[in-house]
Structure 1
């Protein structure tokens, strides 16, 4: 097993007024193969990615992984969310995060609430996104089939078969040109938390194709 370096830090993004907390993992030896940005849902934070081993798994797979606490959540509670959500502010927000942390081109992992950030970013800044891993994100209905079809970024759509939101988001996300789908059996909305082993295998298998 390759050794893994874990660290914590904060990043100041102009649009947010206060620093954002993040956790980071990377291989101790050699240059990382790629950068991965882990977002989270409204009841969660970067700590979940630490606890289920996703940060460690990604580093062992040769990636640099950054798990961000989104504005007003986790340890970024004092950071204000970019307003208005659903317009260009979330795209500019993630662009600045990636610039400040030297992540581009980045693989974006985006469950649930974080779709409000990742979808505008994907549609506005395709060249900055190496791959996209939506896990039943919200707000997929805000964009047209034509907008999705214009995206050529490799995409892994993941959801639990007990999650109705996952099925709704799949209907929209399946318009993405270059996508594959993993349905996690017996899993609900936070499917990665319920079955980390299946999640990690699906994720690392996908990343190995990039």
Structure 2
């Protein structure tokens, strides 16, 4: 079977131009689409080089990785809030609407927590699943905020992540329908330290969605 091809494109969100990379399955699939966000030192290119886009598409998921405002190929776009301040929930909603991928599974490492968390907690009906990877801003929301949502979540962190690993876990574990995947010997960007384990567990989780 031919390997899924990755296409590049742009979307307009709140008057800002955002860059994205997309891989689609070879055949129509009932699997939910997947939106991949990234950390401050990374971009959509990370998911391309790691092979995550290809593996998701090969498993039947439409996979879209965006470059967040001010980063990567979206460097000229203005972020809707300062780093560490939760962005308006409408930002990710507009991204998903522009890409026609509601509801979506959302993969959200590190910095991107400021975008994903306000969205998933305010628009849970548009979330198929959530895969936070030691995101920031988990302390900006209450136990009650987390407890209201019912979508499946896979909480991922590296046991060598001394900054955000345990901190994010302690808040995110209040998501009622959540599983925890601790990557042994991995740091903050744990998916880079053990791509095989990351892809295996991610695809297992997404494959279990009803």
Report the TM-score, using the length of structure 1 for normalisation.
Answer: 0.95
Q: Unaligned stretches of 5+ in structure 2? A: none
- SS of 1:43's equivalent in the other structure is coil
Deviation at 1:90, TM superposition (A): 3.1
Q: What pairs up with 1:34-53 in 2 under 5 angstroms?
A: 34-53=32-51
Structure 1: distance between partners of 2:139 and 2:202: 25
C-alpha distance in 2, partners of 1:121/1:137? 14
Give the CA deviation at 1:33: 1.9
Whether contact under 8 Å (1:25, 1:56) holds in the other structure is: yes
Counterpart of 2:149?
151
Distance (Å, rounded) in 1 between the aligned partners of 2:130 and 2:2 = 25
Contact 1:5 1:28 in 2 (8 A): no
**What aligned pairs does 1:1-210 form with structure 2 within 5 A after superposition?**
1=1, 3-14=3-14, 17-31=15-29, 33-83=31-81, 86-87=85-86, 89-164=87-162, 165-210=164-209
Q: Compared with structure 1, are the counterparts of its residues 176 and 2 closer, same or farther at alpha carbon in structure 2 (3 Å cutoff)?
A: farther
Q: CA 1:32–1:25 in structure 2 vs 1: closer, same or farther (change >3 Å)?
A: farther
Q: Indicate the SS of the match to 1:27.
A: coil
Q: How has the CA–CA distance of structure 1 residues 40 and 6 changed in structure 2, closer, same or farther, with 3 Å as cutoff? A: same
Cα RMSD (Å) of the superposition?
A: 1.3
Determine if contact 1:161/1:188 at 8 Å carries over to the other structure: yes
Structure 1 unaligned residues grouped into runs of 5+: none
Separation of aligned partners in 2, 1:25 and 1:128: 21
Q: Distance in 2 between matches of 1:77 and 1:193?
A: 23
